[in-house]
Amino acid sequence: MALYSEPVTGTRKVGVLGASGYVGAELLRLLAAHPRFEVTAVTASSQEGREVADLYPSLAAAYPGLAYRPQELASVAGTDLVFCALPHGASQKLVPGLLGEVGHVVDLAADFRLKDASAYPRWYKEEHTCPELLEEAVFGLPELDRARLPGARLVAAAGCYVTAATLALAPLVGAGLVEPEGLVVDAASGVSGAGRKPADNTQFCSVDEDFTAYGLLVHRHTPEMEQAIGGQVLFTPHLAPMNRGILATCYARPAGHGPVDALGALVEAYREEPFVLAGERIPSTKAVLGSNVAHVTARSDPRTGWVVAICALDNLVKGASGQAVQCANAVMGWPETLGLPMAGLMP
């Protein structure tokens, strides 16, 4: 990975918009251990005035007395960098104003990930309100393209499903080892991926001892995968009865008639990447729990002719908040590993 020359000294003030959700809470957990980011403001439209420790006692020791402010620009004025952990559509209303008030913005929603503004009405059922920012926004998956991150004003951090599928498939497509058309991604996510807001299909009695597919053929993260991977993707997400984690099993056809060393390609692609571990070991969601590391592997099947590539990651860390902090580190010109967990939790 790239090394940066700025000495790791001093701190930068950070604000978190939407800090009451699972992604926002995970951001606060990670930032509490960061040596250079100091959280000075958090917002939540549904929790205004409430202390973070009352909503998340797990954060009480790290943020004593910190309370949620109104979800408005004035709440994070004066910060050096703002993380937006808001539902889709909300960032579009705030980011244009934020860019004039703070140094950098890292958005964790999908509002600025797609480069083609015309894709938003098709996949999100609404027009994009500030399409002029789509070209400027840097897609935040450092392993894919970190060159544009240092100094970026606006970063659109890649989400969990897209990160898992892209880490598994992009090196194979990019090297011409597999056909870019007809890629298949079957991925299962823990329930935290649906957010903290209650819903009928995410209640305990609905999720427990169940495993179901959803968003058939029309899941809105499909175009992000196609944009990042550089191919045509059939994506089927699944909801698994676990708190955290994503396991993406991806299928592709070899581009030629000879054998494909898919595993070798992944190992070579991620040899210098601290947050992607490629090898023979079959990835599991438990192995990456709480860490910012993704585990990947691949096999080529001579019997069926298919190539299968698998990625496991923690949807709240490498799939969301950890990814955002990794991008923010790069934006500031610091080592991407700063303040991020390399080891998972076990048991």
At 333 the pLDDT is: 96
Concatenated DSSP letters of 247-265? EEEEEE-BSSSS---HHHH
**6 falls within a domain:** no
Q: Are residues 68 and 126 in the same domain?
A: yes
Please calculate the CA angle 87-85-246 and round it to the nearest 5 degrees: 85
Q: pTM to 2 decimals?
A: 0.95
**269 falls within a domain:** yes
Q: Which of 84, 130, 160, 205 is catalytic?
A: 160
| CATH number, position 137 | 3.40.50.720
Please count the other Cβ atoms lying within 10 Å of the Cβ belonging to residue 199.
Answer: 10
Structural domain for 94, as ranges: 12-157+318-331
At 44 the pLDDT is: 95
- The residue-averaged pLDDT of 71-85 equals 95
CB-neighbour burial class of residue 123 (10 A; exposed 0-12, middle 13-18, buried 19+): middle
pLDDT of residue 2 exceeding 50: no
- The residue-averaged pLDDT of 258-275 equals 95
- The residue-averaged pLDDT of 105-132 equals 96
Q: Are residues 186 and 212 in the same domain?
A: yes
Confidence of residue 145 (pLDDT cuts 50, 70, 90): confident
**Per DSSP, which regions of 95-167 are E strands?**
104-107, 138-140, 154-157
- The residue-averaged pLDDT of 257-276 equals 94
**217 falls within a domain:** yes
Q: Are 327 and 140 in contact (CB under 8 A)?
A: yes
Euclidean distance between CA atoms 2 and 337, whole angstroms:
11
Q: Are 309 and 12 in contact (CB under 8 A)?
A: no
Active-site residue 160, yes or no? yes
Confidence of residue 9 (pLDDT cuts 50, 70, 90): low
**What are the structure tokens assigned to 155, written together?**
């970063």
Average of per-residue pLDDT values in the chain: 94
Q: Are residues 296 and 214 in the same domain?
A: yes
At 195 the pLDDT is: 85
Number of H helices, E strands in the chain: 9, 14
**What are the structure tokens assigned to 106, written together?**
């890292």
Q: Are residues 149 and 197 in the same domain?
A: no
CA end-to-end distance (rounded Å), the chain: 30
pLDDT of residue 173 exceeding 80: yes
pLDDT of residue 3 exceeding 70: no
At 4 the pLDDT is: 39
**240 falls within a domain:** yes
| CATH number, position 304 | 3.30.360.10
Whose structure tokens read 């299962």? 188
- Sheet with strand 183-189: strands edge to edge: 212-213, 233-239, 183-189, 246-252, 307-313, 294-300, 276-278
pLDDT of residue 8 exceeding 60: no
pLDDT of residue 157 exceeding 60: yes
Query: What Cα–Cα distance (Å) separates residue 76 from each residue in 34, 82, 314, 322, 323?
Result: 19, 7, 28, 21, 21
Q: Are residues 292 and 322 in the same domain?
A: no
**343 falls within a domain:** no
Convert the pLDDT of each residue in 310-335 to its tens digit.
999 999 999 999 999 999 999 999 99
Q: Are residues 145 and 233 in the same domain?
A: no
Convert the pLDDT of each residue in 180-219 to its tens digit.
999 999 999 999 988 888 888 888 888 899 999 999 999 9
Euclidean distance between CA atoms 188 and 117, whole angstroms:
28
At 1 the pLDDT is: 41
As a whole-number percent, the residues of the chain with pLDDT over 70 amount to 97
